[in-house]
Amino acid sequence: MESNPTDIFQRLRNGEMISSNDPQAYKMLDAAHATKELLVQMNNSVDPTEVRSFLSQITGREIDESVTVFTPLYINYGKNTHIGKNVFINFDCTLLDLGGITIEDNVLIAPKVSILSEGHPIAAADRQSLVPGRVHIKKNVWIGANASILPGVTIGVNAIVAAGAVVTKDVPDNTIVGGVPAKIIKSIEDK
Protein backbone atom coordinates (compact mmCIF):
# COMPACT_ATOMS: atom_id res chain seq x y z
CA MET A 1 0.00 0.00 0.00
CA GLU A 2 1.27 3.52 -0.85
CA SER A 3 2.26 5.76 2.05
CA ASN A 4 -0.03 8.59 0.86
CA PRO A 5 -3.27 7.32 -0.66
CA THR A 6 -4.31 10.75 -1.97
CA ASP A 7 -3.78 10.98 -5.74
CA ILE A 8 -0.59 12.82 -6.69
CA PHE A 9 -2.45 15.12 -9.12
CA GLN A 10 -4.86 16.17 -6.37
CA ARG A 11 -1.93 16.85 -4.06
CA LEU A 12 -0.33 19.00 -6.77
CA ARG A 13 -3.58 20.95 -7.24
CA ASN A 14 -3.64 21.44 -3.47
CA GLY A 15 -0.14 23.00 -3.60
CA GLU A 16 1.67 20.15 -1.88
CA MET A 17 5.41 19.73 -2.51
CA ILE A 18 6.07 16.37 -4.16
CA SER A 19 9.28 14.58 -3.26
CA SER A 20 11.30 12.97 -6.05
CA ASN A 21 10.93 9.61 -4.29
CA ASP A 22 7.14 9.89 -3.89
CA PRO A 23 5.62 6.46 -4.60
CA GLN A 24 3.23 8.05 -7.12
CA ALA A 25 5.84 10.15 -8.98
CA TYR A 26 5.79 7.70 -11.89
CA LYS A 27 2.20 8.83 -12.60
CA MET A 28 3.47 12.30 -13.57
CA LEU A 29 5.84 10.79 -16.15
CA ASP A 30 3.16 8.46 -17.50
CA ALA A 31 0.76 11.39 -17.90
CA ALA A 32 3.44 13.52 -19.57
CA HIS A 33 4.14 10.78 -22.12
CA ALA A 34 0.41 10.44 -22.90
CA THR A 35 0.18 14.22 -23.35
CA LYS A 36 3.26 14.21 -25.58
CA GLU A 37 1.61 11.72 -27.95
CA LEU A 38 -1.31 14.12 -28.43
CA LEU A 39 1.01 17.14 -28.67
CA VAL A 40 2.94 15.59 -31.55
CA GLN A 41 -0.31 15.19 -33.48
CA MET A 42 -1.62 18.64 -32.51
CA ASN A 43 1.64 20.37 -33.40
CA ASN A 44 1.63 18.75 -36.83
CA SER A 45 -1.89 19.88 -37.69
CA VAL A 46 -2.68 22.97 -39.74
CA ASP A 47 -6.44 22.75 -39.21
CA PRO A 48 -7.60 25.09 -36.40
CA THR A 49 -10.58 22.86 -35.57
CA GLU A 50 -8.30 19.83 -35.28
CA VAL A 51 -5.85 21.77 -33.10
CA ARG A 52 -8.69 22.70 -30.73
CA SER A 53 -9.87 19.08 -30.71
CA PHE A 54 -6.43 17.82 -29.68
CA LEU A 55 -6.16 20.58 -27.08
CA SER A 56 -9.56 19.52 -25.71
CA GLN A 57 -8.25 15.97 -25.35
CA ILE A 58 -5.08 17.20 -23.67
CA THR A 59 -6.92 19.42 -21.17
CA GLY A 60 -9.86 17.09 -20.67
CA ARG A 61 -12.34 19.92 -21.29
CA GLU A 62 -13.92 21.49 -24.35
CA ILE A 63 -11.91 24.30 -25.94
CA ASP A 64 -14.27 26.95 -27.30
CA GLU A 65 -14.28 27.58 -31.05
CA SER A 66 -13.32 31.22 -30.35
CA VAL A 67 -9.88 30.05 -29.12
CA THR A 68 -6.97 30.28 -31.56
CA VAL A 69 -3.71 28.41 -31.01
CA PHE A 70 -0.74 28.76 -33.34
CA THR A 71 1.33 25.63 -32.92
CA PRO A 72 3.74 24.50 -31.72
CA LEU A 73 2.43 24.60 -28.16
CA TYR A 74 4.09 22.61 -25.39
CA ILE A 75 2.26 21.28 -22.31
CA ASN A 76 3.63 18.79 -19.81
CA TYR A 77 0.32 17.50 -18.38
CA GLY A 78 -2.72 19.43 -19.62
CA LYS A 79 -5.47 18.32 -17.26
CA ASN A 80 -4.76 21.29 -14.93
CA THR A 81 -5.09 23.90 -17.69
CA HIS A 82 -8.35 25.86 -18.04
CA ILE A 83 -8.72 28.09 -21.12
CA GLY A 84 -11.57 30.59 -21.47
CA LYS A 85 -13.20 32.00 -24.61
CA ASN A 86 -11.60 34.23 -27.24
CA VAL A 87 -8.07 33.36 -26.12
CA PHE A 88 -5.19 33.69 -28.58
CA ILE A 89 -1.99 31.70 -28.00
CA ASN A 90 0.80 32.45 -30.47
CA PHE A 91 3.66 30.22 -31.66
CA ASP A 92 6.07 28.34 -29.41
CA CYS A 93 4.49 28.79 -25.97
CA THR A 94 5.06 26.48 -22.99
CA LEU A 95 2.55 25.61 -20.26
CA LEU A 96 3.79 23.62 -17.26
CA ASP A 97 0.48 23.03 -15.53
CA LEU A 98 0.92 20.46 -12.74
CA GLY A 99 0.19 23.25 -10.24
CA GLY A 100 -2.74 24.56 -12.27
CA ILE A 101 -3.12 27.26 -14.91
CA THR A 102 -6.30 29.27 -15.49
CA ILE A 103 -6.49 31.54 -18.54
CA GLU A 104 -9.70 33.57 -18.55
CA ASP A 105 -11.54 35.10 -21.53
CA ASN A 106 -10.01 37.52 -24.06
CA VAL A 107 -6.37 36.82 -23.15
CA LEU A 108 -3.62 37.43 -25.73
CA ILE A 109 -0.42 35.41 -25.37
CA ALA A 110 2.48 36.35 -27.66
CA PRO A 111 5.13 33.96 -29.06
CA LYS A 112 7.54 32.12 -26.76
CA VAL A 113 5.64 32.84 -23.54
CA SER A 114 6.24 30.40 -20.68
CA ILE A 115 3.55 29.92 -18.03
CA LEU A 116 5.04 27.80 -15.27
CA SER A 117 2.94 26.53 -12.37
CA GLU A 118 5.70 24.42 -10.91
CA GLY A 119 9.26 24.84 -9.72
CA HIS A 120 11.78 23.42 -7.30
CA PRO A 121 12.82 24.26 -3.72
CA ILE A 122 15.81 26.49 -3.07
CA ALA A 123 17.38 24.07 -0.56
CA ALA A 124 19.82 21.80 -2.41
CA ALA A 125 18.78 18.78 -0.33
CA ASP A 126 15.19 19.13 -1.61
CA ARG A 127 15.93 20.43 -5.11
CA GLN A 128 14.66 17.30 -6.89
CA SER A 129 11.22 17.84 -5.36
CA LEU A 130 8.44 19.63 -7.23
CA VAL A 131 6.70 22.69 -5.76
CA PRO A 132 3.40 23.61 -7.45
CA GLY A 133 1.92 27.11 -7.51
CA ARG A 134 -1.31 27.91 -9.34
CA VAL A 135 -1.14 30.59 -12.06
CA HIS A 136 -4.25 32.66 -12.76
CA ILE A 137 -4.43 34.96 -15.77
CA LYS A 138 -7.55 37.10 -15.58
CA LYS A 139 -9.69 38.60 -18.36
CA ASN A 140 -8.29 40.87 -21.08
CA VAL A 141 -4.63 40.29 -20.22
CA TRP A 142 -1.95 40.73 -22.88
CA ILE A 143 1.32 38.87 -22.30
CA GLY A 144 4.19 40.05 -24.50
CA ALA A 145 6.66 37.88 -26.39
CA ASN A 146 9.15 35.78 -24.46
CA ALA A 147 7.67 36.65 -21.05
CA SER A 148 7.80 34.11 -18.23
CA ILE A 149 5.04 33.78 -15.64
CA LEU A 150 6.31 31.94 -12.55
CA PRO A 151 4.46 29.71 -10.08
CA GLY A 152 1.86 31.21 -7.76
CA VAL A 153 1.28 34.39 -9.79
CA THR A 154 -2.08 36.02 -10.54
CA ILE A 155 -2.19 38.56 -13.37
CA GLY A 156 -5.05 41.02 -12.86
CA VAL A 157 -7.83 42.05 -15.21
CA ASN A 158 -6.71 44.18 -18.22
CA ALA A 159 -3.02 43.97 -17.23
CA ILE A 160 -0.17 43.94 -19.74
CA VAL A 161 3.07 42.01 -19.27
CA ALA A 162 5.86 43.55 -21.37
CA ALA A 163 7.94 41.41 -23.72
CA GLY A 164 10.77 39.59 -21.95
CA ALA A 165 9.38 40.20 -18.46
CA VAL A 166 9.83 37.63 -15.70
CA VAL A 167 6.75 37.83 -13.48
CA THR A 168 7.49 36.60 -9.96
CA LYS A 169 4.69 38.40 -8.06
CA ASP A 170 1.01 39.15 -8.57
CA VAL A 171 0.18 41.87 -11.09
CA PRO A 172 -2.63 44.28 -10.10
CA ASP A 173 -5.59 44.95 -12.41
CA ASN A 174 -5.09 47.64 -15.08
CA THR A 175 -1.31 47.86 -14.85
CA ILE A 176 1.64 47.35 -17.16
CA VAL A 177 4.61 45.41 -15.78
CA GLY A 178 8.02 44.79 -17.28
CA GLY A 179 11.59 43.87 -16.48
CA VAL A 180 13.44 41.13 -14.62
CA PRO A 181 11.92 40.70 -12.15
CA ALA A 182 8.80 42.44 -13.43
CA LYS A 183 7.82 45.70 -11.74
CA ILE A 184 4.89 48.04 -12.31
CA ILE A 185 5.68 50.48 -15.12
CA LYS A 186 2.39 52.35 -15.17
CA SER A 187 -1.35 52.16 -14.69
CA ILE A 188 -3.70 51.77 -17.61
CA GLU A 189 -6.34 54.48 -17.93
CA ASP A 190 -9.15 53.42 -20.27
CA LYS A 191 -10.66 56.29 -22.23
Which residues participate in catalysis according to the annotation?
A: 120
Q: How far is CA 122 from CA 14, 74, 97, 126, 128, in A?
A: 20, 26, 20, 8, 10
**3-state class of 40 per DSSP?**
helix
- For residues 131 and 110, what is the distance between their CA atoms, to the nearest angstrom? 26
Cis omega (within 30 of 0) for bond into 181: yes
Radius of gyration (C-alpha) of the chain in whole angstroms: 17
CB-CB neighbours of 20 under 10 Å: 11
- For residues 107 and 93, what is the distance between their CA atoms, to the nearest angstrom? 14
**3-state class of 143 per DSSP?**
strand
> What is the length of the chain?
191
